[in-house]
Structure 1
Amino acid sequence: MRDGIRLATDVYLPTTEVTGDGGGASAEGMSAAAADVPGDTILIRLPYDKSGQYTFIPLIAEYFMTRGYRVVAQDVRGKFRSEGETLLFVNEARDGYDTIEWITQQPWSNGRVAMWGDSYYGYTQWAAVSTQHPALKAIAPRVTGTTLGEPVHRNAGDITRGVEMGITYLYPLSYFHSQDAFFWELDPQRRPFSEQAEDAMAAIGSRSISYDQWFPRPVHLRRFPDGHPFDARPVPTLQTIGYWDNCAPQSWADVAEIEARPAWALNHFLRLEPMDHESFYLNDSVEQRVEERPEEQIRSELPRMLDAALDFFEVFVRDNGSASDIPRVSWALSGTDEVRTSASWPPAGTRELELHATIDGGLASGSAEGTDAEQIVSWTHDPADSVPSSARNAFAFLLDKPDEAPLGERDDVLTFTGQPVEQPIDLVGPVRARAQISSDGPVMDLFVRLLDVSEDGSALRIARGQRQLVDASVATNIELDLGHLGYRLAAGHRLGVQVASTDSPEFLPQPGTGEDPWSATTLRTNRQSIAIGGPDGLAITVTTLDSAFDPSDGDTP
Structure 2
Amino acid sequence: MTSFRVAVDGLVADVRLPDGAGPFPAVLIRTPYDRARHRAEAHGWARRGFAAVVQDVRGRFASPGEWRPYENETADGAVTARWIRRQPWSDGRYVAVGASYAAHCALVLALEAPGEARPDAVIAAVPALGAAETAREPSGVERLSARAGWWAAHGDRRDSDVSALDKALAMDPGLLAHLPLTGLPERLGRSLPSWAALWGPRERGRLTSGASRADVPLLAVGGHHDHFTEDTVALWRTWGGPSARLLLGPWGHGLVAAPGPDAGPAHRLNLGELYVRWARRALNGDLAPGRHGAVALGGADRWLPAGADGEPRTQRLRLLRGAVFTADPDRPVRSDGLTVPTGEVPDRCLLATPPLPRPLDAVGPVRLRLRAAADTPYADWAARLVALTPEGTAERLAFGVLRREEPAGRPAEFTVELGRLARRLRAGTRLRLEIAGHHFPAHARNPHTGADPVTAERLLASRREVDPKSVALSLRVLPSRPTSTDPAKEILR
Secondary structure in structure 1 of the residue aligned to 2:127: coil
Cα distance in 1, alignment partners of residues 294 and 92 from structure 2: 29
1:170–1:470 distance in 2 versus 1, CA, 3 Å: farther
Out of 244, 268, 272, the position equivalent to 2:248 is 272
Is contact 2:139-2:402 (8 Å) kept? yes
Out of 455, 458, 466, the position equivalent to 1:530 is 466
- CA deviation after TM superposition for structure 1 residue 213, in Å: 3.0
- 1:401 corresponding residue in structure 2: none
- Does 1:163 find its partner at 2:123? no
Secondary structure in structure 1 of the residue aligned to 2:298: coil
- 2:308 corresponding residue in structure 1: 346
Letter in 1 for 2:184: Q
Out of 126, 136, 158, the position equivalent to 2:119 is 136
- 1:179 corresponding residue in structure 2: 158
- 1:423 corresponding residue in structure 2: 358
- 1:314 corresponding residue in structure 2: 280
The 5 Å alignment of 1:42-81 reads: 42-52=27-37, 57-81=38-62
Is contact 2:246-2:294 (8 Å) kept? yes
Cα distance in 2, alignment partners of residues 465 and 223 from structure 1: 19
- 1:467 corresponding residue in structure 2: 402
- CA deviation after TM superposition for structure 1 residue 470, in Å: 2.7
Worse-superposed segment, 430-439 or 37-46: 430-439
Out of 104, 112, 116, the position equivalent to 1:123 is 104
- 1:86 corresponding residue in structure 2: 67
Secondary structure in structure 2 of the residue aligned to 1:84: coil
The 5 Å alignment of 1:509-524 reads: 509-524=445-460
Is contact 2:369-2:471 (8 Å) kept? yes
Secondary structure in structure 2 of the residue aligned to 1:317: helix
- Does 1:387 find its partner at 2:333? yes
Greater fraction helix = 2
Is contact 2:104-2:129 (8 Å) kept? yes
- 1:540 corresponding residue in structure 2: 473
Letter in 2 for 1:45: R
- CA deviation after TM superposition for structure 1 residue 87, in Å: 0.5
Is contact 1:346-1:430 (8 Å) kept? no
Secondary structure in structure 1 of the residue aligned to 2:363: strand
- 1:40 corresponding residue in structure 2: 25
- CA deviation after TM superposition for structure 1 residue 224, in Å: 7.3
Letter in 2 for 1:9: A
The 5 Å alignment of 1:468-483 reads: 468-471=403-406, 473=408, 474-483=410-419
- Does 1:220 find its partner at 2:202? yes
Letter in 1 for 2:127: T
Secondary structure in structure 2 of the residue aligned to 1:101: helix
Worse-superposed segment, 96-105 or 411-420: 411-420
Is contact 1:408-1:498 (8 Å) kept? no
Worse-superposed segment, 162-171 or 492-501: 162-171
- Does 1:433 find its partner at 2:368? yes
- 1:12 corresponding residue in structure 2: 16
Cα distance in 2, alignment partners of residues 148 and 479 from structure 1: 26
- 1:30 corresponding residue in structure 2: none
1:351-386 CA-to-partner distances (Å, cap 9, x unmatched) read 11012533357xxxxxxxxxxxxxx92211121211
- 2:431 corresponding residue in structure 1: 495
- CA deviation after TM superposition for structure 1 residue 430, in Å: 1.4
Is contact 2:327-2:348 (8 Å) kept? no
- 1:238 corresponding residue in structure 2: 219
1:458-495 CA-to-partner distances (Å, cap 9, x unmatched) read 11112111111133623332222211121111122222
Out of 317, 325, 331, the position equivalent to 2:295 is 331
Structure 2: runs of 5 or more not aligned: 1-7, 170-174, 482-493
Worse-superposed segment, 406-415 or 241-250: 406-415
Secondary structure in structure 2 of the residue aligned to 1:383: coil
TM-score, L = length of structure 1: 0.74
1:414–1:458 distance in 2 versus 1, CA, 3 Å: farther
1:307–1:465 distance in 2 versus 1, CA, 3 Å: farther
Cα distance in 2, alignment partners of residues 409 and 305 from structure 1: 45
C-alpha RMSD of the superposition: 3.2
Cα distance in 1, alignment partners of residues 86 and 342 from structure 2: 63
Secondary structure in structure 2 of the residue aligned to 1:249: helix
Secondary structure in structure 2 of the residue aligned to 1:194: helix
- CA deviation after TM superposition for structure 1 residue 304, in Å: 2.8
Worse-superposed segment, 435-444 or 455-464: 435-444
Is contact 2:330-2:459 (8 Å) kept? yes
1:248-306 CA-to-partner distances (Å, cap 9, x unmatched) read 23334434544xxxx44x522111110111221125899x9xxxxxxxxxxxx995332
Cα distance in 1, alignment partners of residues 9 and 405 from structure 2: 44
Worse-superposed segment, 470-479 or 273-282: 470-479
Out of 211, 216, 234, the position equivalent to 2:195 is 211
- 1:188 corresponding residue in structure 2: 176
- CA deviation after TM superposition for structure 1 residue 143, in Å: 1.2
1:132–1:306 distance in 2 versus 1, CA, 3 Å: farther
Cα distance in 2, alignment partners of residues 284 and 489 from structure 1: 10
- Does 1:304 find its partner at 2:248? no
- CA deviation after TM superposition for structure 1 residue 102, in Å: 1.0
- CA deviation after TM superposition for structure 1 residue 64, in Å: 2.1
- CA deviation after TM superposition for structure 1 residue 169, in Å: 5.6
Greater fraction strand = 2
- CA deviation after TM superposition for structure 1 residue 170, in Å: 5.6
Cα distance in 1, alignment partners of residues 379 and 478 from structure 2: 35
- CA deviation after TM superposition for structure 1 residue 141, in Å: 0.7
Letter in 2 for 1:194: T
Is contact 1:89-1:223 (8 Å) kept? no
- CA deviation after TM superposition for structure 1 residue 97, in Å: 1.4
Identity fraction in percent: 26
Cα distance in 2, alignment partners of residues 451 and 472 from structure 1: 31
Structure 1: runs of 5 or more not aligned: 16-33, 155-159, 289-300, 362-375, 392-403, 549-557
- CA deviation after TM superposition for structure 1 residue 5, in Å: 4.6
Cα distance in 2, alignment partners of residues 111 and 408 from structure 1: 62
Letter in 1 for 2:18: P
Secondary structure in structure 1 of the residue aligned to 2:279: helix
1:89–1:162 distance in 2 versus 1, CA, 3 Å: same
